[in-house]
Amino acid sequence: MSYTLEGRTGTWEIVVGLEVHAQVISHSKLFSGASASYGGEPNTHVSLVDAGFPGMLPVLNHECVAQAIRTGLGLRARINLESRFDRKNYFYADLPTGYQISQFTHPIVGEGTVEIELSDGTVRHIGITRLHMEQDAGKSMHDQDPTRSFIDLNRAGVALMEIVSEPDIRSPEEAGAYLRKLRQILRYLGTCDGNMEEGSMRADVNVSVRKAGEPFRTRCEIKNVNSIRYVMHAIEVEATRQIEVWEDGGEVDQETRLFDPSRNETRSLRSKEDAHDYRYFPDPDLLPLVVEQAWVDELERELPELPDDKRDRFIRQYGIPRYDASVLVAEQAIADYYEEVAKGRDARLAANWVTGDLFGALNRTGRSIQDTPISAQALGGMLDLMADGTINGKIAKEVFEDMLETGDSAADIVERKGLKQVTDTGAIDAAVADVLARNADKVEEYRGGKDRLFGFFVGQVMKAMAGKANPAIVNEALKKVL
Amino acid sequence: MSLDPATVRRIARLARIGIDESDLPALQGELNGILGWVEQLNEVDVEGVTPMVGTGHAALRTRPDVVTDGNCRDAVLSNAPDAVGPFYTVPKVVE
């Protein structure tokens, strides 16, 4: 199943590559000792290095290098033991030095791959071209004054990883799946928090269109899209625009564009005359970065279990379907929660309760797994009561709702409400006899071959016993009498 | 390699240096002189020689990930021609 767009002259396919800027989790900046934390008073997380004062020299943060290598390993990519820093020259008010220190010709991480899964179950591999380290710029505020822009350099010099994909993406859905997967990997690794709303992960989207079998046509780059949904919209809108340009006999210009979600359109950001010429050259303040293979190996040994590996293990170890396993590994905290519930219990039942009732409850109450009102131990305790026959599945739903509201343990709720399952066959037999006596006509029909009525009898008996009867015993008792 | 007037104009623009049209020929001559002089390096045969990045053999120094700097806003803003409160300001930049 491939994604295409219909134009007047036929069917078009889209070609997309993504450049993701991921802010590195670190205490201090890439080349200075100023704090890299978010939300300080304006211009307080700034050293004279970040402010571009003369004579200041950059000194590389060791941990940022480790984070880039961890990320490279998580993307199953080649780690380049020797890499270099270059200056990317351009003028902008929030870039005090007039250049960004980046890695152009020799990035720290080379080719890798990310596995994505689409809604129809298709698995695709998206190539990673490279990952390199670079500095973030400061922030300009244009709405504080009629004639001036205000500059805050707190972000200037914070470490970013730019992760560039191959032009392997062929639909908005694939772009969304790729970004979600990348974010998941970064969060598992603890190298970037992946919060697109706060700008700690942002995407530049390269889009072109072509007819089947053609080589690539000219692409446009849509800058700084800050949500996965917007990336997906922007691709469709931009591809549609390009198809119109081509079909009207025009040429698509290679240019930078901006996505405006409120008008659902992209527009040109910089005139061609102003197209950037960055005049990259090796930063003379920084020697080549050489890392030892032994250190890379050590970082690799310390990596956490990655989402794909965890999913495969869940399928093997717990015997749960692939879809459930994918859902459960979406976040590390969810996976940990599930494993605690499943430990020593019916793992499939545990998966059903976590992905069904628990997720439903979290959605309803607007909570996340981190502040779940029902702990893994508490949910496990409830499953234990089901396993030992104290409560049945129907009562369990009631107990679960009560746990959600009161935070009490399942055992306390069962005790308080008197919900203990009735396994006393005498009581059940009596209820069965009573139901059959009151429904003599239905009994006749059942015996006449209307098998479906069995369910009706079960329901009536359960109702008579306020849902507390053990369903297996009820079934057995009914079968015996009927 | 030699630069034509259009390239000289472009380099000036990228560097945000305003130059008079009348200065172009002189600048073109000077820049071409510099390039020509540097081009003497092309006479050296470097076939099979690893690019050298410096005369020292020192490796790139790194520092531990500790906050040791910042919180010096007055110093940071000391050269700002038009600071407002905690901010630098510049003539409005609108894309």
The two tokens of residue A413 are: 């709720």
A61, A148, A277 ranked by CB distance to B91: nearest: A148
Instruction: Give chain B positions within 8 Å (CB) of A260.
Output: none
The two tokens of residue A39 are: 């939300």
> What's the mean pLDDT when you consider all of chain A?
92
Does residue B1 have a pLDDT over 70? Answer: no
Q: Measured between alpha carbons, how far is A387 from A306 in angstroms, rounded to an integer?
A: 32
- The closest alpha carbon to A304, from A85, A103, A74, belongs to A74
* B51 Cα to chain A: minimum distance (Å): 11
**Interhelix angle B5-14/B24-38, nearest 10 degrees:** 90
Instruction: State pLDDT tens for residues A72-104.
Output: 999 999 999 999 999 999 888 899 999 999 999
CATH architecture, domain A425-481:
Orthogonal Bundle (1.10)
pLDDT for res A250: 95
Beta bridge partners of A139: A152
A49, A269, A286 ranked by CB distance to B95: nearest: A269
Does residue A11 have a pLDDT over 90? Answer: yes
How many residue contacts between A and B have a Cβ separation below 8 Å?
A: 133
**Interhelix angle A453-464/A440-447, nearest 10 degrees:** 150
> What's the mean pLDDT when you consider all of chain B?
89
Average pLDDT over residues A3-10: 93
Average pLDDT over residues A362-388: 92
Q: Measured between alpha carbons, how far is A128 from A112 in angstroms, rounded to an integer?
A: 5
Q: Measured between alpha carbons, how far is A149 from A94 in angstroms, rounded to an integer?
A: 10
Q: Are A74 and B75 in contact (CB under 8 A)?
A: no
Q: Measured between alpha carbons, how far is A202 from A157 in angstroms, rounded to an integer?
A: 17
Does residue B21 have a pLDDT over 60? Answer: yes
B54, B62, B79 ranked by CB distance to A62: nearest: B62
pLDDT for res A206: 97
Q: Measured between alpha carbons, how far is A94 from A91 in angstroms, rounded to an integer?
A: 9
Letter string b/e over residues A348-361, b meaning 16 or more CB atoms within 10 A of that residue's CB: ebbbebbbebbeeb
Of the CA atoms within 13 Å of residue A66, those in its CB half-sphere come to 20
Q: Does B82 touch chain A (CB under 8 A)?
A: yes
Q: Which has the minimum average pLDDT: A171-175, A223-227, B50-54?
A: B50-54
Does residue A421 have a pLDDT over 80? Answer: no
pLDDT for res A246: 97
Q: Does B47 touch chain A (CB under 8 A)?
A: no
Instruction: State pLDDT tens for residues A213-245.
Output: 999 999 999 998 999 999 999 999 999 999 999
Q: How many residues are present in chain B? A: 95
Instruction: State pLDDT tens for residues A30-66.
Output: 999 999 998 899 999 999 999 999 999 999 999 999 9
Boundaries of every domain in chain B: 5-43
Average pLDDT over residues A165-173: 97
Average pLDDT over residues B48-54: 77
What percent of chain A is predicted at pLDDT more than 70?
A: 98
Q: Which of A27, A45, A47, A258 to mutate to test the interface with B (most CBs of B within 10 A)?
A: A47
Boundaries of every domain in chain A: 5-298, 304-417, 425-481
pLDDT for res A105: 94
- In terms of C-beta distances under 8 Å and separation of at least 24 residues, what long-range contacts does A289-293 make, across chains too? A289/A60, A289/A65, A289/A82, A289/A83, A289/A84, A289/A85, A289/A108, A289/B60, A290/A81, A290/A82, A290/B59, A290/B60, A291/A65, A291/A69, A291/A79, A291/A81, A291/A82, A291/A108, A292/A81, A293/A81
Neighbours of A189 (CB within 10 A): 20
H-only helix segments in B1-95: 5-14, 24-38, 73-77
Cβ-based neighbours of B55, under 8 Å, separated by 6 or more? none
Q: Identify the DSSP state of A362.
A: H
Q: Are A236 and A266 in contact (CB under 8 A)?
A: no
Q: Are A457 and A478 in contact (CB under 8 A)?
A: yes
Beta carbons of B89 and A149 less than 8 Å apart = yes
Q: Does B57 touch chain A (CB under 8 A)?
A: no
pLDDT for res A459: 85
Name which residue leads in pLDDT, A469 or A97. Answer: A97
Q: Does B59 touch chain A (CB under 8 A)?
A: yes
Q: Does B95 touch chain A (CB under 8 A)?
A: yes
> What residue in B sits closest to A271 (Cα-Cα)?
B95
Does residue A333 have a pLDDT over 90? Answer: yes
Beta bridge partners of A343: none
Is A226 in a helix, a strand, or coil? coil
Is A444 in a helix, a strand, or coil? helix
Instruction: Give chain A positions within 8 Å (CB) of B54.
Output: 287
Instruction: State pLDDT tens for residues B73-82.
Output: 999 999 899 9
* B84 Cα to chain A: minimum distance (Å): 8
Predicted TM-score of the model (pTM): 0.86
The two tokens of residue A281 are: 């050259």
Tokens 């308080």 label which residue? A416
Instruction: State pLDDT tens for residues A181-218.
Output: 999 999 999 999 999 988 899 999 999 999 999 999 99
Q: Measured between alpha carbons, how far is A275 from A268 in angstroms, rounded to an integer?
A: 11
pLDDT for res A270: 64
Beta carbons of A43 and B93 less than 8 Å apart = no
> What residue in B sits closest to A67 (Cα-Cα)?
B65
B68, B70, B89 ranked by CB distance to A151: nearest: B89
Does residue A272 have a pLDDT over 50? Answer: no
Phi, psi angle pair for A27, to nearest 5°: -80, -45
